[in-house]
Amino acid sequence: MIDEGAESGNTTGPAPVVALFSGLDPTGGAGIAADIIAVRDTGAYALPFLTANTVQGQNVKARFVPIDPTFLLDQIQAVFPSIQTESVKIGMIGTPAIFHLILNAVTRFFPGIPVVLDPVASASSGGCLVSPASRDAILAAGSQIRLLTPNLLELEWLAGHAIRHSDDLDRALAIVGRHGFQAVLVKGGHGEGDPEDKLFIDRKQVEAWKGRRVPVSPRGTGCRLAAFIAGKLASGDDLIHAVHAAYQYVQCYILGSPFTGCTR
Ligand code: PLP
C-alpha cells in the first residue's frame, strides 16, 4: 500500500500497489505506458519497471533491446524493500534472464502475491518481441503465475500447435496446464466471428465474455486487460470479478467510450 493521499493533502487512504514489468512502446499505445494508465484506472498505484526498449510504429517492424538485468535488479532492490506491493503484472519479458530475475525478486520480497502474465510474443504492428528461449522460460514458470492471459496466437506459440477447433484448444490448455498454469484467460480477438474471451481454471471453462466484432483494433488491449486485472487483484477482488471488470474496461477502450468505473 502507498499513501498517496498524505502527499497530496487528500485523505483518500493508501492505494494498493501493482508492480509492472513491461517494455516501452514509444507510440504510447501498448507496453508500460498502457499498463500504468490501466492500473491507475483501477485506483491502484503503479510501480513501473522497464524490461526492454522497443522501436515500433505504423508500418515499422518492431525490434527491441532488453534492459541490463543488473540494472533492473538494482531498481527492484531500491524499491521493493520500502513499498509493500500487492500484485504484479508481467508483459514483455525482454529475455529469460530478466524474467527469472523478476520472479525471484517477487518470491523473495512478496511471496504469494498474485502474478498476472501476458505472454507477449509479437507487436501489434508486426515484429517479434521475444527471444527464441522465451517460450520455454514462460512455460517453466507456470506454478508461479496466478493468471496467464494469452490471445489465440500467443497460446498457439506456447502450445506449439495451431488452434482451429475446440479440441485444439483443449490440447493447448492441457499443455499449459501440465506446466502448472491453473488459470488461463484465452482472448478470442484473433479468432473468427464475434470475439469471446474465456476463463479456464484447471482446464474447465468457468466464465466467458462475448463481444461484438468492431472494425477497429487499437493497440494495447492485451496490456490494458492484464494490468487492469492486476490492479483489481491488488484491491482484493477475486479472479472472476477482476477479469469481468477488466473486460468491461477494455470494451470501453476499444469502443472509444469513456470508462465510467463499471464493475460487476
Ligand atoms: N508490450 C509492448 C512493449 C508492445 O510494444 C506490445 C505491442 O506492440 C505489447 C506489449 C502487446 O500489445 P497488445 O496489448 O496490443 O497485445
pTM of the predicted structure, to 2 decimals: 0.93
Spatial distance between the Cα atoms of 233 and 195, rounded to a whole number of angstroms: 24
Residue to substitute in 219, 224, 254 for testing ligand 1 pocket (most ligand atoms within 8 angstroms of CB):
219
Q: Which tens digit of pLDDT belongs to each residue from 154-182?
A: 999 999 999 999 999 999 999 999 999 99
Nearest to 88 by CA among 60, 58, 70, 113: 113
Mean pLDDT by 10 residues, the chain (264 residues): 58 86 95 97 98 91 95 98 98 97 98 97 85 94 98 96 96 98 93 89 96 82 97 98 97 78 43
Amino acid at 208: A
Closest by CA position to 124, among listed 205, 58, 44: 58
Give the H or E element holding residue 242. helix 239-255
**How far apart are the CA of 9 and the centre of ligand 1, in A?**
36
H helical segments located in 141-216: 152-159, 166-178
Q: What is the pLDDT of residues 1-15, one digit of tens each?
A: 887 654 444 446 799
Give the distance (Å) from ligand 1 centre to CA of residue 30: 5
CB under 6 Å to ligand 1: residues? 22-23, 25, 30-31, 54, 56, 91-92, 120, 123-124, 129, 219-223
pLDDT confidence of residue 259: 63
Distance CA 13, CA 185 (A): 32
Contact assessment for residue 47 and residue 84, using Cβ atoms and an 8 Å cutoff: no
